[in-house]
Copies of this chain bind each other. A is one copy, B any other.
Amino acid sequence: MKLDARKLKILTTIVEIYIDTGEPVSSKVLAQHNFRVSPATIRNDMAALFEMGYLEQPHTSAGRIPSHLGYRIYVDQLMHCKPLSERERSEIDALFNVRDPDPDRLLEDAAQALADHTNCATISTTITPKTVLVKHIEVVPAGAHTVVILVIATNGVIKNKVCRVDFNISSEVIEFLNQFANGRVSGKSVNDISQWYINSIAVTLGDYSQMFTPVLATIYELCREINDGQFYTSGSANLLGYKEFGEIARDLLLTMGNRDQLLGVIGSKNESVFITIGKENAQSELTDTSVVVTKYRIGAQNSGAIGVIGPVRMDYAKLIPHIEYFSQTLGKLLAETFEQNL
């Protein structure tokens, strides 16, 4: 059995109507969509598409709905992406048009805006490539026995942490710590700042090594955190709006709260837009959802990912241009702010 043009058009139309209405599509409804043939003919084609596994039937006397495989064909071969309207584009631009973009906040805002635009749940992360370096460390006195340590990385991420110390906080000690920390740690890849490396520089402090241990430990922790990346989710509650999630909504929301699981979802694929549909998902909680992920880039490097989780019946043709534009804008913005300053 060959997939002739009409069968493909029928499949396309079924997918699009079903995405729109959520109701099984009947031969009669299809016949009204400028096919020049009768419902009976369409039924024959539908039966063929069913045979081939592209359609499913909720029950004998219902219309047909796309199988996950059907969506796959649609997404890979049949779909025409709907380009963003000028208005949508400028809405997104306006959103990111802030004076001093803070990468953390930007990422969080992006997750939220994308959730609003797509009515799905979103995830955004930074991935920290080996080429992200510690740019600067600053030790700031904050109390009689507390200092705040600030680490700035070349990908624009900035983190601080409080550290309690035993020594007397004189300006000489602070000066020394700043010199020492920047001398030994700045310029290195955040990924290289291992426990082992910290120990190795601690010993060079001789008698003072004990005293400064908490400071070095805090620097280590900050580098780890930067290396582990940021992670935001947004719009989980949107998923409650889809009737297909009635029963499993709770599991889904719990999954959305589980960072480790979601990191697995964002995964390691490298296409510019990576789509997993329903059963294609490895995680059993997500076999009724589709996931669309893009990596965004700062300059030439993969820098992070932004993804959407929603019902299998999601509007791929609209969503994909959206997420691509978000991803591009995000990458461009971060690059503008930070790359020039490396």
Contacts and interface: CB of A to CB of B under 8 A. Distances in A.
Interface centre among A140, A142, A145, A162 (most CB of B within 10 A): A162
A342 B164 CA distance: 14
Given A158-B162, A164-B99, A237 B218 contact: no
Nearest to A163: B100
Interface in A231-281: 236-237, 240-241, 249-250, 253-254, 256-257
A303 B138 CA distance: 29
A160 B150 contact: yes
Contacts of A21: none
B241 A341 contact: no
Interface string A159-171: 0111110000000
Interface of A: 99-102, 135-136, 138, 140-146, 148, 150, 152, 156, 158, 160-164, 214, 218, 236-237, 240-241, 249-250, 253-254, 256-257, 337-338, 340-342
6 closest A-B pairs by CB: A143-B341, A237-B253, A240-B250, A138-B140, A142-B152, A144-B341
- Protomer copies: 2
A99 B164 CA distance: 8
Nearest to A178: B140
A142 B159 CA distance: 13
Given A148-B150, A250-B240, A162 B100 contact: yes
A102 B161 contact: yes
A37 to B, nearest CB: 42
Contacts of A146: 337-338, 341
Nearest to A103: B162
A287 to B, nearest CB: 19
Nearest to A141: B136
A contact face: mostly helix, strand, loop, or mixed: mixed
A334 to B, nearest CB: 11
7 contacts: A138-B138, A144-B340, A145-B340, A148-B152, A158-B160, A241-B250, A253-B253
A243 to B, nearest CB: 11
Given A100-B218, A161-B100, A237-B254, A142 B136 contact: yes
Contact of A136 (B140, B145, B250): B140
Contacts of A236: 236-237, 253
Contacts of A100: 161-164, 214, 218
B140 A152 contact: yes
A112 B152 CA distance: 28
A340 B145 CA distance: 9
A50 to B, nearest CB: 34
A297 B6 CA distance: 71
Nearest to A218: B100
Interface centre among A143, A164, A214 (most CB of B within 10 A): A143
Contacts of A250: 237, 240-241
A218 to B, nearest CB: 7
Nearest to A235: B257
A144 B154 CA distance: 12
A282 to B, nearest CB: 22
Contacts of A249: 240, 249
